[in-house]
Structures are given as C-alpha cells and as structure tokens.
Amino acid sequence: MKTQSLAQIVSMDNLALSTILEYWKRYEPKSVLLALAVLNKRGFVISERLNKKLDEFCENSEHSTIDNYLSSFFKENDLDPNDYKIPKDELSSVLESKYSSLKSTAKFFSVINTIMGTVCAFGILRLFGIGDTLTALYLTASTVITILIFSAISGIIKILIDVEANTRKNDNEKI
C-alpha cells in the first residue's frame, strides 16, 4: 500500500486527490483520509461515484460514516481539521523533487549561456585581431542576442519555481 505524506497530498491537484479516493485500496487509510480532508478544505464537491467508493472504504475500515472516520482520525492524530500544518522540511523536500526537472532545464540554459559567452569573447577578440570583421560582428551580435534570450528563459523558469514554492507555502499556512 502506498503512503502519501501530508506535504505530498497538499501539493497534489484535485484530480490526483480524487484518484486516491477512487483507488483507496492501493493507499494507506491515513493517505485516503488526508486526501479527503484536503479536498473538503478546498471545497471540492465529491461525486456520487466517489461517495460510493468512500462508503466501501468505511465498510472495510469498520466505520459507520466517512465523517465519523475522518473525525476520529483527526482526534487520534491530534490534528485540527481546520488548521493543520505541514513541517517545513517535509514541504521543502516535496517541492525539491517536484521541480528538479525545471531546475535541470534552467541549469542547461545557464551552461549554454556560458558556452555562448565564450563564443562571444572569441568574436570580440577576432574583431580586434586579424580576420573578417563582418563575420566577427555577426558572430558577436548573434551570440549576444542568444545569451539574452537564454538568460530570459532561465530567469523565467527560476521565477516560476519561486512563485510556485511561495504559493505552496502560503497555501500550507491557510490549510
């Protein structure tokens, strides 16, 4: 059975959370209850199909209703259903793994910028040395433009990661 931490569950979208409810047999009861609590907190309307799945989940766990099960879960774990917090180290580890590919992309553009900067430097040196001045000007101008574009892309990716991370932290404070 899969176990999802509170930080992982809070970082999921509604579709992923409803999938946990749909396939509750694959998950630990704690993960199912946390997914339901987060969906309830977000105001997500549980469909009739999901309600049937939750009824099966309750029957399997020997609880009369999902509301009773959820209440007892929060009492047993000493959590407030209206204000539960995610430990910062747990949240940061989830965010790190979630954005590793974007960070790799930003790093790729940074490496390309370094290479292009080197090409630009050789173009400038060639301008002052022996060689075709027009080719050197073209090389220098094109690399400068490429550096600016790749720097912008890399910066945008980093900004998006920061905005998303800050949004998740703020959402965690509200949940």
Report the candidate in 41, 43, 42 with the shortest Cα–Cα distance to residue 81. 41
Enter the pTM of the model: 0.52
Q: Which of 100-104, 128-132, 149-153 is modeled with the greatest confidence? A: 149-153
* Domain-embedded: residue 89: no
* Domain-embedded: residue 125: yes
Tracing tokens 């009739």 back to the chain, one arrives at: 48
* Domain-embedded: residue 45: yes
d(CA 27, CA 25): 6
* Domain-embedded: residue 153: yes
Q: Which domain holds residue 55?
A: 6-76
**Is the domain of 72 the same as that of 115?**
no
Q: Which pLDDT tens digit goes with each residue over 78-90? A: 766 655 555 555 5
Q: What is the pLDDT of residue 93?
A: 57
**Is the domain of 72 the same as that of 31?**
yes
Number of domains in the chain: 2
Q: State which of 76, 111, 136 marks the end of a domain.
A: 76
Average pLDDT over every residue of 154-173: 72
**Is the domain of 104 the same as that of 138?**
yes
* Domain-embedded: residue 42: yes
**Is the domain of 59 the same as that of 19?**
yes
d(CA 66, CA 31): 14
**Is the domain of 148 the same as that of 112?**
yes
d(CA 33, CA 144): 54
Q: Which pLDDT tens digit goes with each residue over 42-77? A: 888 888 998 899 889 888 888 888 888 888 887 787
* Domain-embedded: residue 62: yes
**Is the domain of 133 the same as that of 71?**
no
* Domain-embedded: residue 32: yes
